[in-house]
Amino acid sequence: LSESGVPQLVQPMIWDYAADLDVESKVLLIEKYRRCGFSKVWFASAFKGATGVNQSLTLIGHHLKNHLQWLKVASSIPSDVLQGIALTGWQRYDHFSVLCELFPVAIPSLAVCLQALENGGYSERVKENVEKLLGMPNLEIDTFMR
């Protein structure tokens, strides 16, 4: 792979939407990419969808946990290796499936995930900031928003 020149032309993106993402295996995967000559990698997460083919509401806690795991991966690799993270928002699993939750119900999840990434974690201060930004009196992380 190194001799092909591909590592100088592309940057791999590592996709994982699991709340219990295996940090150690991701770090090992990144090390393998680096040994093949890839100097940069991307991560891909999801702020909506990806939790059920006919999901109608967003369980924020699931997506937040995924982003917190990605932050652990990022802190376990050299700082110059991570190029960025793509936050995907699944609309459907395939063209024959029903729609996943729609964007409006997922906006709180997007805000929580972005703020967690920007602040390097999630805390009461981050929660209060999201509530203020969205004009929400009580952001529910571990249950579906009412």
User: What integer pLDDT is reported at residue 145 of this predicted model?
Assistant: 57
Residues 6+ positions from 131 with CB-CB distance below 8 Å: 137, 138, 139
For residue 143, is it within any domain? no
For residue 139, is it within any domain? no
For residue 73, is it within any domain? yes
End-to-end CA distance of the chain: 51
For residue 144, is it within any domain? no
Cα dihedral angle (100, 106, 112, 118), rounded to 10 degrees?
A: 80
Domain hosting residue 95, numbered range = 6-134
User: What integer pLDDT is reported at residue 55 of this predicted model?
Assistant: 82
Has residue 143 got a pLDDT over 80?
A: no
For residue 32, is it within any domain? yes
User: What integer pLDDT is reported at residue 116 of this predicted model?
Assistant: 97
Provide the pLDDT confidence category of residue 78 given band limits of 50, 70 and 90: very high
- What residues are paired with 42 via a beta bridge? 13, 84
User: What integer pLDDT is reported at residue 98 of this predicted model?
Assistant: 85
Report the number of distinct structural domains present in the chain: 1
User: What integer pLDDT is reported at residue 144 of this predicted model?
Assistant: 67
Would you list the DSSP string of 63-110?
Answer: HHHHHHHHHHHHHTS-TTTEEEEEEEE-S-SSTTSPP-S-HHHHHHHH
For residue 140, is it within any domain? no
Token readout for 139 is: 């952001």
For residue 23, is it within any domain? yes
For residue 141, is it within any domain? no
The pLDDT of 8-12, averaged and rounded, is 96
Provide the pLDDT confidence category of residue 99 given band limits of 50, 70 and 90: confident
